[in-house]
Amino acid sequence: MVRPQEGMSQARVLLSLRAAIDTAIRYPHQGNVDTALEIARTYPRALASAHLRHNLGKRRWDWLAEHGVTP
C-alpha cells in the first residue's frame, strides 16, 4: 500500500496515484479506496497539472470524479 509522503515529486505522485486507483478499481475494499482518495486529496497542485491529468487517463479521472475528487 502506497501512502502519501511529504515532498513527493509530481512523477512519484502520478505513479502512486495510478497504482492506488487501479488497486481500488480492481479490489474496491474501503481501505483501497481511502488510500487512493487520500493521495489525490493530499496533492491538489499535482492534480491541477496538465501533464498529470493527461497521464492519469480517462478511466482513472472518471473514478476520481465518482468519488468527489476533481482537479
Per-residue pLDDT of the chain (71 residues; tens, 9 = 90+): 455 555 678 889 999 999 999 999 999 999 999 999 999 999 988 888 898 889 999 999 999 999 999 87
The number of C-alpha atoms within 13 Å of 2 and in the hemisphere containing its C-beta is: 22
How many domains is the chain built from?
Answer: 1
The model's pTM: 0.85
Contact indicator for 14, 55 with CB cutoff of 8 Å = yes
End-to-end distance of the chain based on CA atoms, in angstroms?
23
- Residue 55's domain comprises 10-66
